[in-house]
Structure 1
Amino acid sequence: MAEHPETTLTQGTPPADTYPRKILEYLEGFLISKTVFTSCELGVFDVLHTAGRPLSAKDVSKAIGASLDGTERLLAACAGLQLLQTHCDDGQVFYSNSDEASIYLIRSSPSSLLQSIQYRSETIYTCWQYLTDAVREGRNQYEKAFGVSSKDLFEALYRCDEEMVKFMQLMNSIWNICGKDVVKAFDLSPFKVICDLGGCSGALAKQCTSVYPECTVTIFDLPRVVRMSREHFVSEADLRINFQQGDFFKDTLPEADLYVLARILHDWTDERCIELLNRVYGACKPGGAVLVVEALLYEDGSGPVTAQLYSLNMLVQTEGKERTAAQYAALMSAAGFTNIQHRLTGKIYDAVLGHKED
C-alpha cells in the first residue's frame, strides 16, 4: 500500500510560521531548577530579606561572596522567573524578593522550602542524571549516584544522618504546605487514636492534631528516624503526639482506629504494598480505617504531569511507582478493606480512605 501523499510531503517539515515553544521550554527546564537551586544555595533571597530594602547586584555579590558578573546574570534570571522584583533608580537596577520568594525561599520563614530545595538539588538531581539507566534497568540508581547498595531501600535513602535530616526536612516542608488539605479531605473526627506509619518528622501528625484536637497520634518509624524527629522536629510540648520505634514490615504495629500511610505505598511494589496493608488490617480496630495519601494519577494514565514525573522519580529512587485511585483501591481491597473512596484536594497530594468492617 502506498504511503499517504500528505504524510510523505510533510513528515519532518514544520508548517510555515510554527515555533516549538513547549519543546524548547521543556529542554530548558533543568536550567530553571538549577537557577533556583543555586540562588538558594548562595543565599540570595536571605540577603535581600535581611537587607529590608532593594539591593544592587554589586551589594548582593559582596554579601554572597560571588563575582559581580555572575551575580548580575543570576539576579536577572531570577527576575525573569518572577522570583525577584526589579526597581530602577537613576539608571541602576535594584532587586527585592517577590511575595512568593519571601514566603517560601527565606530560611527563617515558617513555610520555607529551603531544605526541600537542597534535597532536590543534592540528591534527586544527582539521581536523575541516571534516569536513562533507570528506565533501561527498571530499578533505582543509588549505587551509580552515590556508591551505596540499594538492596535495603531506606538504608540507601538514609545513608547518613545528614542525608536523613535533609529527607525529613523535605517531608516536613511538604506537609506544612499540603498536610491540612489531605487530613481534611475526609471527616476523620470519628477516629480518636491515629497511627502515622512512617510519620517521619511529625509534620502530618501536627496537622492531624490541629484539625482534630480530640485525637492522639502515634508516629511509628525506624529508630534512627524517631531519634532525629525528637531532636529536630517534635518538641515534648506536643503532648498528643508520641513515638514508637519499629519497622512496619517486621514489628508489631500499634493498635489504632486510623492508620495513615502518607507517601509510603508509592515506595513499594504491589506485593510489598499488600503485605503492609495486610499488617495494617490485622492491627486495625474493627470499625477503623486506613488513609492513603498519594499523588494520584488519572485513571487513563494521561496525567497529572506532576504525578507522572513523580512516578519516574520513584523509578530512579525507590522500588515503587505512582498509581491511580483504582489501583490503590485494589491493593486495599486485597488486604480486606471495604467502602474505599478517594478525594482529590486540587493540590499535589490526594487521599484514599478504606474501612475495616465493624
Structure 2
Amino acid sequence: MADRHEIFTALIDGAATAEEVAKSLELDAETLQRLLMLLCAAGLVERLPNGAYTVLGDIVPFVDRRSRKYLGGFVTHMVTSAAGRMPVLGDHLQHGKSAADPANADPFARIYADASSTKEFLSAMWALSADVSVELVDLAGLTGTRHLVDVGGASGAFAVAALQAVPGLRATVFDLPQVGPYLVETAERHGIADRLGFVAGDFLGDGELPAGDCLALGYVLSDWTDETCLHLLRKVHRACTPGGRVLILERLFEDDRTGPLGTAVMHLSMHVETLGGHRTAAEYLSLLDRAGFTNGRVRRSGQEKHLLIANKE
C-alpha cells in the first residue's frame, strides 16, 4: 500500500510529517499516520525527533522505483496474484495438481489476460531480474557476441543489461504479443531502441525462434515440465548458430534439494502459478545435454539467480 500510493517515494525525496505527506499526495492524514506507525514498527521507516518520517537508509534501494534493486513490482505480484492462487494449495495436497486445477493448463493465458495483469507480471519480472542481470552479464562474458536473443525475455531486463555492457551488441526479445508495448517502452527509456528489437511469438508453438549466436532463457524453464523444457531447448539449439551458446538464468536448488529457502518458497508458489518449478544445476545440465548442447557449466552469482552456459558445436 505504501508503495502503490508512492509514500516511500515521498519520504525518500525528503523527511516529512504525516500531515505533509498526506497533503502532497492527497491522502487521508489519519489513515496515513496509522500506516506510518506500522512501517516504523516493521523497521522500514523511522520517526525523527521533530515528528517527520524518513525511509531507513538500508531499505531505500528496495522501495525506490528509480533503483535497480526496487522490489515493489515483485511484492505486488506476490501479494495479489500469487497469494490469490494459494487457496488451491489444499486441493493440490488432497487431489494432485492436474485434478485440482485443470483450468490452469495454460497459466500465461491468465497472467496476460488483460493490460493490468500483464503490467503487474512484467513489473514483477523486472524487479526480480534488473539488478542481478548486471552480474549475470559479466559472468556470461558476452564480449564478441553479435546477436543476443532473449527468449521469453519479458520487458528485457537481461537484454538491457547486456546492451549497456557490450557496445556493438544487438538484442532481440522474443515473447508473446502482449509484451511488445512494454519492451518498446523499456528500450526507449534506456536509450537503446536502435539496438533492442522485439519479435512476437509463442515459443511453444510450431514456429521457430529468431536465430542468434547467443540465446538466453531467464526464469523461463522453471515455468514448465521437463518434457516442455526439452522441446524448447531443442528449438533453441536449432536457432543457435554453430559455435554459439545458450544461457539459462535461474534460481538453483542445492544438489540435495534442501535449500536455499527462497528457492523452496518460490518452488511452492510456482506449483500453483505455473506448470513448473525450480531444479538443481545437474538437472538443467542434463536437459542441455539431451537437447544437443555441449560443455555445460555453472556460474553462480552473489544473489539468488544463477547462470548455466552450454555450447552448440
State the match for 1:127 in structure 2: 85
Whether 1:339 and 2:295 are equivalent positions in the alignment is: yes
Q: CA deviation at 1:141?
A: 11
| Equivalent residue runs for 1:1-358 within 5 Å | 38-50=1-13, 52-55=14-17, 57-60=18-21, 65-66=27-28, 68=30, 71-89=32-50, 93-107=51-65, 111-139=69-97, 149-230=103-184, 232-235=185-188, 237-250=192-205, 251-357=207-313
Which moved further from structure 2: 154-163 or 118-127? 118-127
Q: CA deviation at 1:180?
A: 0.8
2: distance between equivalents of 1:340 and 1:138?
34
1: distance between equivalents of 2:263 and 2:155?
23
State the match for 1:11 in structure 2: none
Contact preservation (8 Å) 2:212, 2:239: yes
Q: CA deviation at 1:307?
A: 0.5
User: For 1:20-72, what per-residue CA distance to the aligned partner results, in whole angstroms no more than 9, with x for missing partners?
Assistant: xxxxxxxxxxxxxxxxxx3323433133235x2332x455566563463x544
2: distance between equivalents of 1:271 and 1:111?
34
Amino acid at match of 2:244: G
Q: CA deviation at 1:348?
A: 1.3
Give TM-score scaled by structure 2 length: 0.89
| Partner-residue secondary structure (3-state), 1:99 | coil
1: distance between equivalents of 2:27 and 2:281?
49
Q: 1:42 to 1:254 in 2, by over 3 A?
A: closer
Contact preservation (8 Å) 1:45, 1:101: no
2: distance between equivalents of 1:136 and 1:267?
22
Rg: which structure is higher?
1
Amino acid at match of 1:48: L
Q: 1:339 to 1:277 in 2, by over 3 A?
A: same
Q: CA deviation at 1:81?
A: 2.8
Amino acid at match of 1:44: I
Report percent identity of matched pairs: 29
1: distance between equivalents of 2:126 and 2:208?
26
Q: CA deviation at 1:282?
A: 1.6
Amino acid at match of 2:15: R
Contact preservation (8 Å) 1:86, 1:95: yes
| Partner-residue secondary structure (3-state), 1:258 | strand
Q: CA deviation at 1:108?
A: 5.2
Count residues with an aligned counterpart.
309
Q: 1:243 to 1:254 in 2, by over 3 A?
A: same
1: distance between equivalents of 2:32 and 2:163?
44
Give TM-score scaled by structure 1 length: 0.79
Structure 1 unaligned segments of length 5 or more: list them: 1-37
Amino acid at match of 1:151: A
Task: Let me know the Cα RMSD of the aligned residues.
Answer: 2.5
Amino acid at match of 2:142: L
1: distance between equivalents of 2:215 and 2:201?
15
Runs of 4+ in 1 over 6 A off after TM superposition: 140-144
Q: 1:244 to 1:214 in 2, by over 3 A?
A: same
Contact preservation (8 Å) 1:140, 1:317: no
Q: CA deviation at 1:153?
A: 2.4
Q: 1:281 to 1:151 in 2, by over 3 A?
A: same
Amino acid at match of 1:85: E
Structure 2 unaligned segments of length 5 or more: list them: none
| Partner-residue secondary structure (3-state), 1:239 | coil
